[in-house]
Amino acid sequence: VRLQQLRFNYCMVTTSRLQHHGYNNPFPRLQLPLDPGNRGPLHECHDRLHLHQSGFDQISVRDRVGLFFIMGGLYPFIVILDTIAKFNAEREIFYREMEDGLYTTGPYFFSKVLSTLPFHTLFLVLYTVPMYWLAGLQPKAGKFLGNCLYTYLAVYSSRCMAMAISAAITNFQMAAFCANLLFTVFLLSSGFIINLESLWLGVKWLKWTSYLKWSFQALNQIEFHGLEFTCNSTMVAMYGECPISNGSVALKSYDLDGESLTECCSALVGIILLFLLLSFVFLKFVNQKPKK
């Protein structure tokens, strides 16, 4: 019992020290102009020009869907290469210290996960909060917090996926290629580029594995529920009625009304846990010797 307690204390101390090192390590890079944390204001200014106060006509339906594709699809893409690059930069030190027996896989893994959470939160604050209010989305606290939650989970899913791939593939170029390939598959089955109802039955199952599909669907459901849209006289004369009169019709037309928000949240959390488990398994059983 005494030996187990000593081992536990050693693991906790090692995790704490590695976590402290993880907090300090990114600060010198935050001043780089291409760092994701500094690209946020530039993206916000660009999106502000295109999404000035979304209205309630038929065009604004597509504007909102496009906005949520940016938040639920493109925001997660930004962190992939950055996560792989940071992981690859630490690999040599991690491998050498593991070989010297300074710590085991567990403390390093948990310190890695915990140390990224504050910077992940800062990244989401810089991106999500200005975007929501500048785009003129519904000014309700519940919808705003729900939007932040699902964007947070989507981006963190990408971060965990990149961590798992980087742990499985020690070559940076191959890891980046595989991560982008997998992300593209998830993106195509998210429901924005291709309507999910028109997918071939043989690949239709891919949408259930896509965290981008779950986040994109949740973001649209949060915003569109309770909205009413208007039509001009030309459109009414052409179609005989208003094509998209409310949020429920908009969600149905994009096939985004299938699952509830609770199911979307559960799916995202499950995918995150799966990627974290794979990261730990790959770190423990795959030789992490750096490859040039």
More confident call, 290 vs 24: 290
Helices (H), the chain: 2-24, 36-50, 58-69, 75-99, 105-134, 141-168, 172-188, 211-224, 233-239, 247-253, 261-285
More confident call, 27 vs 95: 95
Which amino acid, 92? E
Task: Lowest mean pLDDT of 96-100, 173-177, 249-253, 259-263, name the range.
Answer: 96-100
Whether 35 contacts 28, CB under 8 Å:
no
* pTM, to two decimals: 0.81
**Burial class, 221, CB count within 10 angstroms (exposed 0-12 / middle 13-18 / buried 19+):** buried
125 phi, psi to nearest 5 deg: -65, -45
**Residue entry with tokens 């085991």:** 104
285: CB partners within 8 A, 6+ apart: none
Residue 253: how many CB atoms within 10 A of its CB?
A: 14
* Distance spanning both ends of the chain, measured CA to CA: 44
Arithmetic mean of pLDDT, 176-189: 92
Arithmetic mean of pLDDT, 259-269: 93
pLDDT score of 28 more than 50: no
**Residue entry with tokens 């600060």:** 27
pLDDT of residue 254: 84
- Residue 196 CA to residue 211 CA, distance in Å, equals 14
pLDDT of residue 239: 67
- What is the per-residue DSSP string for 46-110? HHHHHSSS--SSHHHHHHHHHHHHIIIIIHHHHHHHHHHHHHHHHHHHHHHHHHTTS--HHHHHH
pLDDT of residue 32: 39
Would you state the torsion angle of the CA atoms of residues 154, 160, 161, 166, taken in this order, to the nearest 10 degrees? 150
Whether 211 contacts 219, CB under 8 Å:
no
